């Protein structure tokens, strides 16, 4: 056992330290009280630290939960915004496609009507040509009905290259077109039904009917064989 003051060895029966004179029982009591206070203080600090740690962890957990919830909510809102935008884009595309289809349908209807008008006009011109053919005789034409019906290869079989050339230009001649080629011009001048009034540079393909255009293309393809 030691003196609490000078730390010299003492005996338990001593009331005072023989070296420094420090009262031993009082000192021992004080020392025990201090030790007890230290123990109590340590326990108190432990529980305080534990409580603070628990509160801090709870606060951190709550903060993390709040942040995570906000992040998830933000992600969900962003995803919903993207889906809404895609839906709007798809709806707009469908509306545009529908509008385009309606427009195409309207144009097709207009084209059909125009085509009908054109065919009607073509039929009128074809009728005039037919009447002219009937008046002048089919012998003045290589292909008498090339302006009124669609030709087939069977109609062209047996014709020479020159006859095909004349038959092709015969379609233009019916509409009064003149020709730069002197041979062609002389040939058609000899036909009673021909009346050349339109110079080549002034002639428009719009004067031709769809039937005549198709027949021109067929004759040209047949000529190139």
pLDDT digits (tens, 9 = 90+) for 88-140: 887 777 777 777 676 666 555 444 344 334 333 334 444 454 454 444 456 68
Burial of 118 (0-12, 13-18, 19+ CB in 10 A): middle
Domain annotation covers residue 108: no
> Please, are residues 169 and 179 in contact by the beta-carbon 8 Å criterion?
yes
Question: Of 100 and 10, which is predicted with more confidence?
Answer: 10
Q: Domain of 192: which CATH number?
A: 1.20.58.1690
pLDDT of res. 196:
95
pLDDT of res. 130:
47
Domain annotation covers residue 200: yes
Domain annotation covers residue 129: no
Domain annotation covers residue 35: no
Domain annotation covers residue 193: yes
CA–CA distance, 57 with 48 (Å, rounded to integer): 14
Taking the model in full, what pTM does it have? 0.42
Phi, then psi, of 132 in degrees rounded to 5:
-65, -40
> Please, are residues 169 and 190 in contact by the beta-carbon 8 Å criterion?
no
Cβ neighbours for 203, distance < 8 A, ≥ 6 positions apart: 172, 175, 177
CA–CA distance, 51 with 103 (Å, rounded to integer): 76
Rg (CA), the chain: 58
Q: What is the pLDDT of residues 200-219, one digit of tens each?
A: 999 999 999 999 999 999 99
Domain annotation covers residue 157: yes
Count up the domains in the chain and report the number.
Answer: 1
Strand partners, 2: 9
> Please, are residues 146 and 220 in contact by the beta-carbon 8 Å criterion?
no
- b/e sequence 80-89, b meaning 16+ C-beta within 10 Å: eeeeeeeeee
CA–CA distance, 207 with 179 (Å, rounded to integer): 16
Q: CA dihedral defined by 132, 134, 140, 145, rounded to 10 degrees?
A: 80
Three-state SS for 23?
Answer: strand
| 161-173 vs 210-223: helix crossing angle, rounded to 10 | 160
Question: Of 16 and 222, which is predicted with more confidence?
Answer: 222
pLDDT of res. 72:
64
User: Look-up: residue for tokens 């010299």?
Assistant: 8
Three-state SS for 22?
Answer: coil
Q: What is the pLDDT of residues 19-78, one digit of tens each?
A: 788 887 654 444 566 667 767 777 777 888 888 889 888 888 887 777 777 776 667 777
Cβ neighbours for 129, distance < 8 A, ≥ 6 positions apart: 147, 148, 174
The residue segments making up the domain with residue 187 are: 137-223
Domain annotation covers residue 6: no
Domain annotation covers residue 147: yes
């Amino acid at each position: 056992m030691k003196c609490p003051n000078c730390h010299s060895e003492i005996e338990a029966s001593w009331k005072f330290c023989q070296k420094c004179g420090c009262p031993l029982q009082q000192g021992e009591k004080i020392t025990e009280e201090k030790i007890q206070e230290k123990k109590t203080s340590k326990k108190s600090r432990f529980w305080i630290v534990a409580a603070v740690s628990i509160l801090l962890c709870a606060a951190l957990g709550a903060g993390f939960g709040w942040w995570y919830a906000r992040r998830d909510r933000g992600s969900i809102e962003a995803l919903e915004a993207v889906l809404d935008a895609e839906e709007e884009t798809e709806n707009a595309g469908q509306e545009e496609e529908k509008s385009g289809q309606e427009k195409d349908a309207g144009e097709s209807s207009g084209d059909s009507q125009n085509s009908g008008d054109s065919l009607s006009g073509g039929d009128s011109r074809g009728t005039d040509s037919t009447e002219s053919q009937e008046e002048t005789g089919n012998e003045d034409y290589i292909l008498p009905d090339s302006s009124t019906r669609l030709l087939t290869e069977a109609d062209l079989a047996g014709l020479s290259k020159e006859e095909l050339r004349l038959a092709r230009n015969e379609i233009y001649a019916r509409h009064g077109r003149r020709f730069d080629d002197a041979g062609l011009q002389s040939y058609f001048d000899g036909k009673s039904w021909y009346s050349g009034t339109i110079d080549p540079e002034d002639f428009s393909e719009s004067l031709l009917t769809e039937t005549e255009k198709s027949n021109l293309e067929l004759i040209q393809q047949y000529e190139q064989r």
